[in-house]
Structure 1
Amino acid sequence: MIMSPSLRTLPRNVSADDVADCIDRDGGVIITNLIDDAVMDELIADLQPHFDRQAFGSGFTGNRTRRCNALLQHSDRTADLMLAPAFIGAAERLLVHDGVWSGANPDGTTTHKLRMRPTIQLSVTQAIELWPGQTAQEIHRDDSMYYARHPGPPTLVQALFAGTRYTAENGGTMVIPGSHRWDDERIPRLEEAIPIEMPRGSALVYVGGLYHAGGSNVTEDERRIAIAISYTLGYMRQEENQYLAVSPERARQLPLRVRELMGYRLCSPFCGWVDMRDPMEWLEAYSCSANDDQVHR
């Protein structure tokens, strides 16, 4: 059996720069104990009723796997995972790049250049409950939805937070270290993948070009829970439509930084406006309008 090198494991107080450097080299990294038990306990408790209403999936989504989406709608603790400094800091470093907007007067007498940087935004929030009997998932790249070419600049950074411990036996995610640098003609093989093992509250953070798959759960009675949260650039479409998945009323209850990351913020220079205004203004106006409607009923 061919075994790939392992991903590096880093402590929770690691700098975002160190996380980004490891991901740039290997495609992913493990950060141990990134989320406290109390936060994870509350998050799982909030999500459990929604898990329990879900049926098992089929095919790629898993016939012994249940999924809960729109996590910001269901739990305040989602923000704790989104804003974990080592995760969001690394995402910003890996994704954000400088751009230039050039312009000139109609008569060509004056030209100017504006240096700009895009925002990042939330792409997906999903909790994944993998039960005994689930077989290994098809190996894939998460950035395929963006028709990304490889190798190339990353368009997606994702974290899989361990809601339970991750082991080789309970379906710990399998990855092929270094595969983010492969071209699109190279076909991944299952024997090249290694299972990720990490304690509850830890996170596997990786770029969308890394080949990976959910593993096989061969235990008798142990479910494995992962919480997937990803970021993409502010000018790209979100995998999960946050504006429909999370109601405007709920969005207004969330911290400002979370609302910005949901997409209620212009991406420089002009991407994402509503009636030529910053979408945060629309959200505030929507709240006032909704309150007025309640008053006049």
Structure 2
Amino acid sequence: MSTSTRSPEDASSRTPLSIKISTRLKVDNPRTQSESDVKSANTATEDLRPHLEADSPWDGEFFPQETRRCYGLIPNSPTCAEKVVMHPLYQAVCDKFLTTKNWFWSGHKKTFATSKPQIMNTVCFSIRPGAHSQPLHRDDWCYHVVAQKADKYPDDLQRDTGIGWFVAGKDATFENGCTRFIPGSHLWAHEQEPDDDLCAYAELKKGDAFMMFASCYHGGGSNKTKDEERLLYSCFMTRGWLRQEENHYLNMNLDTVRTLPREIQDLTGYTLSEPFLGWVNSNTPRVMLDPSIKGNKDMVQNEQPA
């Protein structure tokens, strides 16, 4: 998977890039596109098309009337769950930036806790001809983040609440409304207003991907074509101690959750956020899937994790 962007000043240019996190912290990765990426995109489209067509127009200004959405990509498309949400590069970046480690006193003993990232939301977007551009926004607003200006990204990597991952189901171009974003805006203060003139455009080939922090100002572009759909599979991950934006506890029944691989079950919230967040009857929430798990016991770490 790969990305490219172009600025509004040179809309004819197409510049291959390494996959970037919010366009500032670079993860070296050559531009590649395999047949499996395209095949996965085709399969995901087959899975989600009925849900897109069943969606209704948005009541308000945040989404254009021409846009359709499908939520719950994990239960609705095994391909999206495996190939989009669980993409190894995306999960590795989320693990690096969204894992929280801490220690606490328990009496006179230090105890240690590691909270791993969890899913924040999953959406497939179908942006159709005539759709206007979406307002520039940050996806961390649901966590009431009031960011302070930063000259560089902090070494402790704890600034952000989420990371987004956008995979193209069809070619995404400037003309058909590819994602626009403001490079460097993840370092801005809360009070700084987004400026549309600063936008770059994440043009993607089918099967390619774009990654950014939830604090980066972004929005869907306008679809100026007569007959092209922009199809995008998106997801965000967040910290394990924050509430999920899309409630995965309610959009999947337990029978569906039981069919998922263990790592996806954990990702959707069926594991504790250490030291003891999300318990059920003083037990890990995994007890809902495996009643044999014993509760009523300490679940903290007595040694500092690596």
- For this structure pair, what is the TM-score category when the shorter chain's length is used for normalisation? 0.7 to 0.9
Q: Residue 163 of structure 1 corresponds to which residue in structure 2?
A: 169
CA distance in 1, matches of 2:196, 2:30: 20
Contact 1:33 1:203 in 2 (8 A): no
- Equivalent position amino acid for 2:100 in 1: H
The 5 A counterparts of 1:144-293 are: 144-151=141-148, 153-285=159-291
CA distance in 2, matches of 1:7, 1:251: 41
Q: In the alignment, does 2:90 pair up with 1:84?
A: no
Q: In the alignment, does 2:86 pair up with 1:68?
A: no
User: Unaligned 5+ residue runs, structure 2?
Assistant: 1-6, 149-157, 293-306
TM-score, scaled to structure 1: 0.84
Contact 2:176 2:230 in 1 (8 A): yes
- Equivalent position amino acid for 1:87 in 2: Y
Task: Among all aligned residue pairs of Structure 1 and Structure 2, give the percentage whose two residues are the same amino acid.
Answer: 29
Runs of 4 or more off by more than 3 Å in structure 1?
A: 1-4, 22-27, 29-35
The 5 A counterparts of 1:14-163 are: 25=25, 33=33, 36-58=37-59, 59-79=61-81, 80-104=83-107, 111-151=108-148, 153-163=159-169
Task: Give 3-state SS (helix, strand or coil) of 1:196's partner.
Answer: strand
Alignment RMSD, CA only? 2.5
CA distance in 2, matches of 1:32, 1:176: 24
- Equivalent position amino acid for 2:112 in 1: R
Q: Residue 15 of structure 1 corresponds to which residue in structure 2?
A: none
CA distance in 1, matches of 2:246, 2:111: 31
Partner deviation per Cα, 1:230-259 (whole Å, 9 max, x = no partner): 111111000100011112111111101000
Task: Give 3-state SS (helix, strand or coil) of 1:201's partner.
Answer: coil
The 1:285–1:97 alpha-carbon spacing in structure 2 relative to 1, beyond 3 Å, is closer
Q: Give how far 1:284 is off.
A: 2.7
The 1:113–1:31 alpha-carbon spacing in structure 2 relative to 1, beyond 3 Å, is farther
The 1:237–1:8 alpha-carbon spacing in structure 2 relative to 1, beyond 3 Å, is farther
**Number of aligned residues:** 270
Q: Which has the higher helix share?
A: 1
TM-score, scaled to structure 2: 0.82
- Equivalent position amino acid for 2:96 in 1: R
